[in-house]
């Protein structure tokens, strides 16, 4: 189980970091559009659709990375008061009730959706440039598969936590700002004492 967790975390992190470069590409495209529209009075037809595709790519392909780092928003007002073993049981059950039905539907139905788009070489109906969107629709089942791989890893984490009473370490940890600030304040207090 630990080897699979290691594999899934590395895969999700690699894909998430690779697609994070879409933010740079998106920024460059937006800057280009602003310069063309306001400096040269020659706005582009393609930039709006380009931006939408970049946003979609970031959103879809960063889901597994976000899951692997526990960075999704969660309402854990009561949950965090439980012991780790109880949290493991709760997460284990909720993954099968809520998570897997959604991501498996995303993977399977997304595959049909993307295959149809490839078959007809779909273009954007709302775009004056009529850009091709069938390639971007391939990210729908890809995101579903990546989320499924990471979801299995999270279930294995739950099993390990239930068995040992401790959550396995994560490759990358997303922390809440309040925890970072508290640790920084504690570190400064310790420096003052020394």
User: Which pLDDT tens digit goes with each residue over 4-39?
Assistant: 999 999 999 999 999 999 999 999 999 999 999 999
DSSP 169: P
**Structural domain that includes position 141:** 2-193
- CA atoms within 13 Å, Cβ hemisphere of 101: 5
- Which pTM value belongs to this model? 0.84
Total residue length of the chain: 194
Per residue in 147-175, pLDDT (tens digit) is 999 999 999 999 999 999 999 988 876 66
Instruction: Quote the number of domains for the chain.
Output: 1
């Amino acid at each position: 189980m630990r080897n699979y967790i290691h594999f899934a975390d590395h895969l999700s992190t690699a894909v998430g970091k690779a697609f994070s470069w879409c933010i740079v590409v998106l920024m460059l495209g937006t800057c280009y559009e602003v310069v063309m529209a306001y400096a040269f009075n020659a706005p582009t037809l393609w930039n709006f659709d380009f931006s939408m595709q970049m946003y979609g790519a970031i959103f879809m392909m960063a889901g597994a990375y976000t899951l692997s780092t526990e960075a999704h928003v969660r309402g854990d007002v009561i949950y965090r008061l439980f012991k780790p073993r109880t949290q493991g049981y709760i997460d284990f059950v909720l993954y099968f009730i809520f998570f897997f039905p959604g991501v498996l539907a995303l993977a399977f139905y997304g595959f049909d959706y993307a295959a149809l788009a490839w078959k007809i070489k779909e273009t954007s109906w709302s775009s004056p440039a009529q850009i091709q969107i069938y390639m971007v629709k391939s990210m729908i089942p890809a995101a579903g598969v990546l989320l499924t791989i990471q979801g299995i890893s999270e279930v294995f984490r739950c099993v390990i936590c239930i068995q040992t009473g401790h959550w396995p370490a994560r490759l990358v940890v997303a922390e809440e700002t309040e925890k970072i600030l508290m640790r920084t304040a504690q570190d400064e207090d310790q420096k003052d004492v020394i």
